[in-house]
Structure 1
Amino acid sequence: MRLAIYGCVSSILAIGVILSAMYKRPNFYAACIYVSKSSACMMILLNMGFIVSVLFGKVLQAIFFGRLRAIEIEHLYERSWYAVTETCLAMTIFREEFDLRFIVVFTTLLFLKIFHWLCQDRVEFMEQTPTNRVGFHIRIVNLLCLLLIIDTFLANHAIYVTLTKGPSMMIIFGFEYTILICSILSTIGRYIINLIDMRTEQTWEGKSMYIFYLDLITEFFKLVTYLVFFLYICLNYQLPIHIIRDVYVTFKSFIQKCRDLHRYRRATRNLNELYPDATAEDLNRANDSTCIICREEMHANGQQPENDDVGSNIDMANDDLQQPKKLPCGHIFHFHCLRSWLERQQSCPTW
């Protein structure tokens, strides 16, 4: 309701400005010159352009996403404020080039970022609700492809302008669109992994590792992009203090993922031999035969109780995955649960 009222008032003001300019000037060209020279008129028309952009975004949202969830709206507000603040800090380097063109390009960038964030949230939501309709997949695939094409085109344009005309504010947008390309490729990778997992009848044990490697590669390319942009600005302008935090956070995240990978490899090397099988005495001594990761009963030597409705043709591989393993700290977990846990954390799940 508030947006509707705001839109009506903005429309009335914009129409009034245009009619006033046409009344005071003899022809269309003179009216355009009059409007462009008036700061008040330009502010009203820019505000109307913002309203049109919001309405266009609402239409696209209804087409590709439908009704947004509360968590998605919350994420949009948080990320939007951060993106606006970060870009405003970046523009302190190019304050001499601040003009109408910058406002248009910045609005386009923020518009595209919003749809990238919504795509990420929807793909993550897809992991929680694997039973999605065909229409969901058609819309999300079309949007992912469309965003990738637009990001690539705008990044190439910004880089081309920078290389041909020299350093300018377009380097900021070239950097931003390159980051968006990394982000959308990561989202596409997650979607493909989730789609494969949905079509796999059994539990896909290696899914989390594929996601881990995907995040690691994404962080690496983001780090390279940040460093190139940082060095370019340092060489051509001044020290970009606003981006130091982003470089540090990205570098720290990449190093942490590399450490996690090393610890996981070390923890899972010869996992079957490293941790002994838990015996029936170990389970009895623990006074609780429930695996706290999957919340299912554990049975020594992979044996199922007699009253379980399990066929006699269970594979040996499944028996091995259900085999309880005893850690040095004395805690006991299923083999496949322990391996899945070590992919995310390299410590005992009870700590």
Structure 2
Amino acid sequence: MRLAVYGGVSSLLALGVILNAMHQRSNFYAACVYLSKSSACIMILLNMGLLLAICFGKTLQAIFFGTLRAIEVEHLYERSWYAVTETCLAMTIFRQEFNLQFVIVFTTLLFLKIFHWLCQDRVEFMEQSPSNRVTFHVRMVNLMALLFIIDCVLAQHAINITLTKGPNMMVMFGFEYTILICTILSTIGKYILNVIDMRSEEPWEGKSMYVFYLDLLTDFLKLITYLVFFFFICYYYQLPLHIIRDVYVTFRSFIQKCRDLYRYRRATRNMNELYPNATAEDFARMNDSTCIICREEMQVTPTTENGNDNDNHPPPNQQQQQQQNMDQPKKLPCGHIFHFHCLRSWLERQQSCPTW
């Protein structure tokens, strides 16, 4: 309803200034010159262009996403606020180049960012709703391919202008489109991992590590892009205050992921040696033999080392042996016991006891 009222008022104002220009000037060219010289007319026409962009965006939203979830709308408001704030800070660097072209290019950038954010949220939502229809996958594949192509074209265009005309405002937009390329490649990678996980008959335990490596690579590429842009702007302009926060957040995220990777590798290097198998005596001292990670009952698995397996049972084949090893309860130094595969999957996310 509010959009309809806004659209109606904006349309009437735009129509009014155009008719007034045509009435005061004898031909179309003179009317266009009159509109371009009047600040009030330009503001009204820009407002009409914004309305058309919103309507176009609503149409694309209905085609690719349908109705947005409440959490998606909330994320859009939060991220849009940060994007507009950072751009206002960036305008202090390129204030001499602020013109109509800057407004149009910024609106296009914000328009693309919104669809990147929505695409990210939908791909993450795939894990919560594994039974997605074919139309969902058709929409997502087409949208991700379209966004990737547009990002590459606009980034190349901005870089070519910078190389031809020298440092200008297009440096910032080229940098932004490069960041969007990293983002959409990460989204495509997560979508592929989610599809593989959905098509597998059993839970894919190694998926979290692939997602972790993908996030690590994405943070590394973003960090390199931020640093290149940061030093470029410092050399040709001044200190870019608007990306200091992004550089710090990306750098901290990258360092934290490197630390987590090191701790995970150290914790899982020799799990069979670091964490001994739980014995019947260990379970006897416990009040509950349920694994708190998977909420399933744990049982002592007989070993086959040194031929001490029960002679009444035939030796298990390779698949059965692997399953027994995965279900083998392991005892941590703190005394808590968990399934081997549950403990390994937990260590992929946290490098501490799950009960802490």
Please give the secondary structure, in 1, of the residue aligned with 2:229.
Answer: helix
Number of equivalent positions:
343
- Give how far 1:229 is off: 0.1
**1:347 partnered with 2:352:** yes
- Give how far 1:302 is off: 7.0
Please give the secondary structure, in 1, of the residue aligned with 2:338.
Answer: strand
Q: Which residue of 1 aligns with 2:170?
A: 170
In structure 2, C-alpha distance between the alignment counterparts of 1:332 and 1:247, rounded to whole Å = 41
- Give how far 1:196 is off: 0.7
1:168-207 CA-to-partner distances (Å, cap 9, x unmatched) read 0000100000000000000000000111111111121210
TM-score by length of structure 1 reads 0.96
Please give the secondary structure, in 1, of the residue aligned with 2:330.
Answer: strand
In structure 2, C-alpha distance between the alignment counterparts of 1:121 and 1:243, rounded to whole Å = 24
- Give how far 1:297 is off: 1.0
Q: Which residue of 1 aligns with 2:306?
A: none
Stretches of structure 2 that go unaligned for 5 or more consecutive residues are: 304-315
* 2:197 and 2:204 in contact (8 A); partners too: yes
* 2:87 and 2:242 in contact (8 A); partners too: no
TM-score by length of structure 2 reads 0.94
* 1:302 and 1:324 in contact (8 A); partners too: no
Q: Which residue of 2 aligns with 1:260?
A: 260
In structure 2, C-alpha distance between the alignment counterparts of 1:159 and 1:256, rounded to whole Å = 32
Q: Which residue of 1 aligns with 2:340?
A: 335
> Counterparts of 1:204-243 in structure 2 under 5 Å?
204-243=204-243
Q: Which residue of 1 aligns with 2:15?
A: 15
Please give the secondary structure, in 1, of the residue aligned with 2:125.
Answer: helix
Please give the secondary structure, in 2, of the residue aligned with 1:325.
Answer: strand
AA of the residue aligned to 2:184 = I
| Identical-pair percentage | 77
1:315-349 CA-to-partner distances (Å, cap 9, x unmatched) read 22112111111000001111111000100111111
> Counterparts of 1:296-335 in structure 2 under 5 Å?
296-301=296-301, 315-335=320-340
In structure 1, C-alpha distance between the alignment counterparts of 2:284 and 2:109, rounded to whole Å = 61
Q: Superposition RMSD on alpha carbons, in Å? A: 1.3
Q: Which residue of 2 aligns with 1:307?
A: none
Q: Which residue of 1 aligns with 2:153?
A: 153
Q: Which residue of 1 aligns with 2:48?
A: 48
- Give how far 1:284 is off: 2.4
Stretches of structure 1 that go unaligned for 5 or more consecutive residues are: 304-311
In structure 1, C-alpha distance between the alignment counterparts of 2:292 and 2:182, rounded to whole Å = 37
AA of the residue aligned to 2:73 = I
In structure 1, C-alpha distance between the alignment counterparts of 2:83 and 2:142, rounded to whole Å = 25
In structure 2, C-alpha distance between the alignment counterparts of 1:128 and 1:135, rounded to whole Å = 17
Q: Which residue of 2 aligns with 1:308?
A: none
Q: Which residue of 1 aligns with 2:92?
A: 92
1:207-258 CA-to-partner distances (Å, cap 9, x unmatched) read 0110000000000000000000001001101111222221111111111101
In structure 1, C-alpha distance between the alignment counterparts of 2:146 and 2:95, rounded to whole Å = 32
* 1:302 and 1:320 in contact (8 A); partners too: no
AA of the residue aligned to 1:33 = V
In structure 2, C-alpha distance between the alignment counterparts of 1:284 and 1:35, rounded to whole Å = 87
1:120-153 CA-to-partner distances (Å, cap 9, x unmatched) read 0000000111110111000000000000000000
**1:200 partnered with 2:203:** no
Q: Which residue of 1 aligns with 2:294?
A: 294
